[in-house]
């Protein structure tokens, strides 16, 4: 069996394709079940965010698994395979660990070092584990990747300054509001991790926002956010009340996955004053033509790229340091995997030899007993010593070559020769 990661990300696909390839979280379970129903996929984790849709899996045949994953992605997104196949990135075995550890470190994020990705990876693993489609291989891989991601943020300055997509969005929002920011009403649509980051950044800003209205499909989730942040400037409402709050808001930030735009021209028509509409949703939650209305300005993920590029320039040294930590942690993970793999085959080989000895002793038990106690024990000791010496060189070679191409060939040969 081998590891593989297949997906679309912002480094290799444009925003329009990523929007259309996004799978809402309530549909992830169906994707996971479909993946492991295929003959070549044994374990799977699926994650789909605003800038990444990806499958990490334990597989048998490489090309068969690629085809099965691509077919599943096409079914889940409603896209024809030809629309996205050439934009897919594929990582295999060692490359999967390097890729996932880099993702967890924030090295593959639009904003280097952003925090949201750690929560996204944890959530994806939890869901796969709950569905019993993530086994020991992927659980260990994801846990080690998240641990490495935390280490990167603790030991480098990669997370200083603009620390997340939410933070970048709030900075742009406040910059656009300018002198009108103090005391302004800002509406945030959503109550998930991204929305929570937006609300937290708004409340922590020096501009002293007047009120933050959190509108969410599930009111209880918005109330949980309100309680967790404990700021009396937070007001919660359900989506049915959104239009009413927009009449007095200076800005709205859509930070929740939407199957279709939530804020459209008719939603805003007739309101007075200016409004900044910040669209962080994928697929987009604010219709692209709302800025045809007087006083309405729309900003989306693409527009945030300039601020993000400035953040990247400010932390080049931190990125280099983070890459060093990732390389170190990946090598340690791979060494652990090599040692574990060698331990399994060595244990199986020794158990096989022991079973042969025990079976032969059992078959000749009456003859051995007839020798008497002392000769019987001597015979057993000599036989086991000879078998241990025969096994010594194969087990040493398996341990020394673990994790190499030669080690794979030796393991396969041992299992074939001894039928284990």
SS3 (DSSP) at 182: coil
The mean pLDDT value for 272-285 works out to 85
Burial 394-411 (b: 16+ CB within 10 A, else e): bbeebeebbeeeebeebb
In the prediction, which pLDDT does 162 show? 58
pLDDT digits (tens, 9 = 90+) for 11-32: 888 877 887 888 888 899 999 9
pLDDT digits (tens, 9 = 90+) for 131-173: 999 999 999 999 999 999 999 999 998 877 655 677 778 888 8
d(CA 241, CA 236) in angstroms, rounded, equals 10
pLDDT category at 357 given cuts 50, 70, 90 is confident
Residues in the chain: 420
Specify whether the CB–CB gap between 104 and 149 falls below 8 A: yes
The dihedral region occupied by 332, where left means phi > 0, alpha psi between -120 and 50, and beta the remainder, is: alpha
Burial 115-139 (b: 16+ CB within 10 A, else e): bbbbebbebbbebbeeeebbeebbe
Tokens of 178: 């300018």
Alpha helices in 364-404 (DSSP H): 365-370, 373-400
d(CA 99, CA 287) in angstroms, rounded, equals 34
- Among residues of the chain, what percentage have pLDDT more than 90? 43
Q: Which residues contact 36 (CB under 8 A, 6 or more apart)?
A: 42, 43, 44, 133
Structural domains of the chain ordered from first start: 2-161 (3.30.460.30), 165-303 (3.40.50.720), 338-418 (no CATH)
For the chain, give percent helix, strand, coil, nearest 5.
60, 15, 25
Instruction: Answer whether residue 96 shows pLDDT above 90.
Output: yes
In the prediction, which pLDDT does 395 show? 84
Taking alpha carbons only, the member of 306, 301, 287, 47 closest to residue 166 is 301
Specify whether the CB–CB gap between 104 and 118 falls below 8 A: yes
d(CA 200, CA 207) in angstroms, rounded, equals 13
Instruction: List Cα–Cα distances, 236 to 131, 227, 228, 361, 374, in angstroms.
Output: 32, 10, 13, 76, 84
Alpha helices in 205-315 (DSSP H): 219-229, 242-246, 265-268, 305-314
Tokens of 200: 């937290």
Instruction: Answer whether residue 110 shows pLDDT above 80.
Output: no
d(CA 3, CA 334) in angstroms, rounded, equals 12
The chain-wide mean pLDDT, for the chain, equals 87
Q: In the sheet that 275-279 helps form, which strands lie side by side, from edge to edge?
A: 234-238, 211-216, 185-189, 251-254, 275-279, 296-300
DSSP state of 356: H
CA 188 to mean position of chain CA atoms: 25
d(CA 193, CA 126) in angstroms, rounded, equals 15
Residues annotated as part of the active site: 50
| 89 strand-pairing partners | 7
The dihedral region occupied by 270, where left means phi > 0, alpha psi between -120 and 50, and beta the remainder, is: left
The maximal CA–CA distance of the chain, rounded, in angstroms, is 106
The mean pLDDT value for 372-400 works out to 84
The mean pLDDT value for 192-201 works out to 85
Q: What is the C-alpha R_g of the chain?
A: 28
Supply the pTM of this predicted model.
Answer: 0.65
Specify whether the CB–CB gap between 260 and 283 falls below 8 A: yes
In the prediction, which pLDDT does 100 show? 96
d(CA 242, CA 276) in angstroms, rounded, equals 15
Tokens of 276: 């900044």
In the prediction, which pLDDT does 259 show? 78
């Amino acid at each position: 069996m081998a590891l593989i990661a297949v997906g679309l990300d912002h480094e290799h696909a444009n925003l329009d394709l990523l929007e259309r390839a996004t799978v809402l979280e309530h549909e992830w379970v169906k994707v996971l079940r479909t993946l492991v129903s295929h003959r070549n996929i044994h374990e799977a984790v699926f994650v789909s965010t605003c800038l990444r849709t990806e499958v990490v899996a334990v597989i048998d045949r490489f090309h068969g698994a690629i085809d099965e994953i691509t077919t599943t992605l096409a079914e889940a997104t409603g896209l024809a395979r030809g629309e996205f196949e050439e934009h897919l990135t594929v990582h295999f075995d060692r490359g999967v660990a390097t890729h996932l550890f880099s993702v967890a470190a924030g090295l593959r994020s639009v904003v280097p070092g952003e925090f949201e990705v750690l929560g996204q990876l944890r959530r994806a693993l939890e869901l796969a584990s709950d569905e019993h489609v993530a086994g020991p291989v992927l659980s260990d891989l994801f846990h080690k990747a998240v641990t490495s991601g935390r280490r990167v943020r603790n030991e480098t300055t990669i997370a200083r300054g603009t620390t997340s997509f939410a933070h970048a969005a709030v900075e742009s929002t406040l910059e656009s509001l300018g002198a009108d920011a103090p005391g302004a009403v800002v509406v945030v649509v959503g109550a998930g991790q991204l929305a929570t980051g937006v609300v937290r950044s708004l409340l922590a800003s020096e501009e002293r926002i007047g009120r933050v209205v959190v509108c969410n499909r599930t009111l209880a989730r918005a109330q949980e956010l309100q309680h967790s942040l404990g700021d009396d400037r937070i007001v919660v409402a359900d989506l049915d009340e959104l239009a009413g709050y927009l009449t007095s808001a200076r800005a709205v930030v859509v930070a929740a996955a939407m199957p279709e735009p939530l804020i459209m021209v008719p939603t805003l028509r007739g309101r007075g004053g200016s409004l900044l509409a910040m669209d962080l949703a994928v697929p987009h939650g604010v219709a692209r033509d709302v800025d045809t209305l007087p006083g309405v300005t729309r900003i989306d993920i693409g527009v945030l790229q300039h601020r993000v590029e400035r953040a990247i320039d400010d932390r080049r040294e931190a990125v280099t340091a983070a890459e060093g930590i990732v390389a170190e942690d990946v090598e340690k993970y791979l060494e652990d995997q090599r040692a574990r793999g060698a331990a399994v085959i060595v244990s199986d080989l020794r158990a096989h030899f022991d079973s042969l000895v025990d079976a032969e002793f059992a078959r000749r038990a009456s003859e051995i007993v007839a020798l008497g106690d002392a000769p019987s024990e001597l015979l057993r000791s000599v036989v086991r010593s000879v078998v241990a010496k025969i096994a010594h060189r194969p087990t040493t070679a398996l341990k020394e070559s673990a994790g190499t191409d030669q080690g794979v060939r030796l393991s396969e040969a041992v299992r074939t020769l001894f039928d284990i």
